[in-house]
Amino acid sequence: MNNDYILEIKEISKSFPGVKALDAVTFNVERGTIHALVGENGAGKSTLIKVLSGIYHAESGDIAIDGKACRFSVPSDARAAGISVVHQEIKLAEPLSVAENMFLGNVIVKHGLVDWKTMRAKAQEIINELGIDIDVNQAVSTLTIAKKQIVEIMHAINHDSKILIMDEPSATLTDHELKILFSIVKKLRDKGITIIYISHRLEEVFELSSATTVLRDGCHVATLPTSSLTKEKLISLMVGRELGQEYPKEIIPIGETILEVHNLVRKKILNDISFDVKKGEVFGISGLVGAGRTELIRTILGIDHYDSGEVILKGKKVYYKNFHEAINDGFGLIPEDRKLQGLIQVMDVKKNICLANMGKVLLNGIINRSLEKKYAEEYVKKLSIATPSINSEVQYLSGGNQQKVVIAKWLMRESEILILDEPTRGIDVGAKTEIYRLINQLVKSGKTVIIISSEMPEIIGMCDRIMIMHEGRKTGELMRNDVTQERIMAACV
């Protein structure tokens, strides 16, 4: 029980079915400092935050605030203990004013009536202290995102917070707004509030924090004074792991360019992206969540529209007004959200598998039961899909098997260019390897595969070429032999 530490985290573990999200994480946070928390996607940062804010219950381990052991059953317990969180997504009541939002859940009452005058005055006090230009009576909906974020921060600290956790606060800010954010964060620290700052932008870590904690694969890797770190050391702490998994990549002769994208621009989302993909390639698109990878694919496939640029398929310029046109031209997409976008949960396995290519099971325009059965059974066998029967509803299958059904659907469609968006997210190791083998089979049979993935070992293990994106721009491209995790991570941030 050290008086310098405002927060002591000891052996915190948290598991979900099939995944150990946090594994005996232990570290301490010094009082009155800005403490950075970094790690890749899936390292366990969000889970840890949720445990600290009372949203999740840790299955083992202890948390102590100011030396006192704490147990949070509900988020309000954490709030009462002095922990406040500013989340990535803005959660304000848009039509209400700044003052009203600041006191949301914490209204000042005088003689049984709400005391607006005092609340407005207090709100103004805080605003003046932080030196920001916001009108307390202004409706939140009229504010810029940066200012909304500031209101969120003020709402958070309004609860006598000792610890303020900020989850990727800078993700949507311009350079100028960043400066204002930084000055606010520093002022809060000077007032005695401890800040846990999560960010992928390593420059911020170096600018703001005095200590940095690195998580990797649910484990605590290191907690060090920021001054003792360099960007390279930090990156290698974040990614340094052994590629223990098997990536059954087979090198297959690569053909001519099949897809070219020139100078694709979509206001505020995609910034002049150009790349090409060759037939038979496994082309990877890497980057952090929010880099614009899914948006890029959606734009090329006609799901969303773009402002300028060109897409060229097999030498011919194409423009898709809707997704259906793209499918007819030979594209296939295994979407990010397999539950909601990939499958019709209440339909059975065989219907889902045949859905993208009904033409194959029609006989004189009528659905033929035995053709459906034949194809479904064929793919269930080929992909080793574990299901009680082809007539079972897909919602009863495990995540990995559901994903295989999605893949089966597009295999049946025989798409020439198959795009997989985070194909193995949340899937156990065994199923992952099977999916990788499928990808191999696909390219062996002449198809082309594009993989979007945040999992670096996967992208390094499976791809012939990797393009890295960051904030809507292409920041790098690496060939298979040149690739290392550090190189990718450096371009991601």
Partner 1 sequence: MAETMRHSSIRKVAKLMIKEYMVIIGIILLSIVFSLSSPYFLTWDNWKNILLQSSTVAIVALGQAIILLTGNFDLSLGRNLCLASCVGALLMKGQGIATVAWNPWLAAIIMICLAAFVGLCNGLLTAYVGLPAFIATLGTQYICYGVAKLITSATPIPKLPDAIGFLGRGFLLSIPVSVIIMLGLYAFAQFFSIKTRMGRNLYAVGGSKEAAFFTGINVKKYTLFAFVIAGTLAGIGGLVLMSRLNSVSLSNGQNYEFDAVIGSIIGGISLAGGKGKLIGTMLGVIFLITLFNGMSQIGIDPFIQDVLKGFVLVIAITIDVLSNKKRT
Residues contributing to the site for partner 1 (CB under 8 A)? 322-324, 327-328, 333, 335, 337, 339-347, 351, 355-356, 358-359, 362, 365-367, 395-396, 409
Cβ–Cβ < 8 Å for 408, 353: yes
Each as own residue / partner, the long-range contacts of residues 115-118 (CB below 8 Å, 24 or more positions apart, any chain) are none
Rounded CA separation 332/210 (Å)? 47
Rounded CA separation 457/429 (Å)? 12
CB-count burial class (<10 Å; 0-12, 13-18, 19+) for 443: buried
From start to end of 45-88, where are the E strands?
60-65, 68-70, 83-86
Minimum CB separation of residue 325 from partner 1 in Å reads 9
Place of tokens 């005088």: 110
Minimum CB separation of residue 344 from partner 1 in Å reads 4
**Spacing of C-alpha 250 from chain mean position:** 29
Rounded CA separation 312/320 (Å)? 11
243 vs 362 by CB, closer to partner 1: 362
Q: How far is CA 435 from CA 248, 407, 420, in A?
A: 10, 9, 11
211-216 and 34-38 as β-strands: parallel, antiparallel, unpaired? parallel
Return the half-sphere exposure (C-beta side, CA atoms, 13 A cut-off) of residue 449: 31
Rounded CA separation 228/447 (Å)? 48
DSSP state of 393: B
156 vs 356 by CB, closer to partner 1: 356
70 vs 327 by CB, closer to partner 1: 327
Minimum CB separation of residue 3 from partner 1 in Å reads 48
248 vs 388 by CB, closer to partner 1: 388
Minimum CB separation of residue 362 from partner 1 in Å reads 6
199 vs 387 by CB, closer to partner 1: 387
Minimum CB separation of residue 395 from partner 1 in Å reads 6
Minimum CB separation of residue 378 from partner 1 in Å reads 19
Return the half-sphere exposure (C-beta side, CA atoms, 13 A cut-off) of residue 143: 27
Minimum CB separation of residue 324 from partner 1 in Å reads 5
156 vs 326 by CB, closer to partner 1: 326
Minimum CB separation of residue 301 from partner 1 in Å reads 10
Phi–psi pair at 62, nearest 5 degrees:
-130, 150
Question: Tokens for 88?
Answer: 């990535």
113 vs 366 by CB, closer to partner 1: 366
Question: Tokens for 230?
Answer: 């360099």
108 vs 346 by CB, closer to partner 1: 346
145 vs 340 by CB, closer to partner 1: 340
Minimum CB separation of residue 374 from partner 1 in Å reads 17
Minimum CB separation of residue 366 from partner 1 in Å reads 5
Rounded CA separation 385/481 (Å)? 33
Cβ–Cβ < 8 Å for 252, 444: yes
Rounded CA separation 70/273 (Å)? 49
154 vs 301 by CB, closer to partner 1: 301
